[in-house]
Amino acid sequence: MHKYNDHAEHHHSIADETLSGEHGTGRSVSLLSFVAVMAVIEVLDVVLTFRLHEFNKHGSLIMSLADDVSRIGNGLFLFFLIASLVVLYLSREKTPRFVLPMLTTYLAVASLNVLFNIATMFVEPLSQHQSQVNPLIDLLLVFSSVTLIFSLWYELIDITSSTQAIEFPNRGGEGEPPIRWFDYFIVSFYSNSTFGPTTESIKSRKVQFLMMVQVSLALMVLVVLVARIVKAS
């Protein structure tokens, strides 16, 4: 009887190890919303990959590498989707901490995939049949992907950090609206469009480094956009 109780307590402690904040905010990663954003990222990636192949018939080495990374990302997403459904069923809406390596791995591959897509658009020549509208559509797809990917990065780092990584004004305090994924999406959107946060205070060096990477990608997207519009004109 004593062994059974020890086993039950051990199982209970594992189940209670949720992927939540350690700095008093009480927030935890919503696996359902995380997977939903991942699904949108995958759709954007599939559409962009199809468009790059449609307008660039002679693929280069960079395009081949981008295809390989995209396939890895698609495979990881399918695996993670199935695993998430199982975890959601067993954990009853709680997100166990052991899913953190899966979340991190997927975001790393998705980030690398976006980088290769930007490099492909920069290197590959434009088709003669491509108008000025098509480069805008491609860059809009990349902009959306980067915004969504880094919003998940910011949320993951802020929640799992021992101290608050991003300080939101009028959010998360007593009597204030709770912090949601959309708040991290706003941070990521402004980092893409204005090359930095607006009213949020960045406390973590990890977030500062990621924001530096995101701003660099945004500048690359801007350069590619101008170059492709000039070539198409």
Residues 188/155, Cβ–Cβ less than 8 Å: no
Q: Please determine, for residue 187, whether its predicted confidence score (pLDDT) is greater than 60.
A: yes
Please count the other Cβ atoms lying within 10 Å of the Cβ belonging to residue 59: 14
Assign 3 a pLDDT band (cuts: 50, 70, 90).
very low
Q: Is the pLDDT of residue 76 over 70?
A: yes
Contacts of 93 (CB under 8 A, 6+ apart): 32
pLDDT at 56: 63
Q: Indicate the average pLDDT of the chain.
A: 77
Two structure tokens written together for 66: 């981008």
Secondary structure letter of residue 174 according to DSSP = T
- Which of the 8 DSSP states describes residue 57? -
- Rounded to 10 degrees, the C-alpha dihedral 90/94/100/106 comes to 80
CB atoms within 10 A of CB 25: 17
As a whole number of angstroms, the distance between CA 218 and CA 93 comes to: 35
Instruction: Please state the rounded mean pLDDT for residues 85-93.
Output: 74
- Residue 208: phi and psi, rounded to 5, are -60, -40
Q: Is the pLDDT of residue 86 over 50?
A: yes
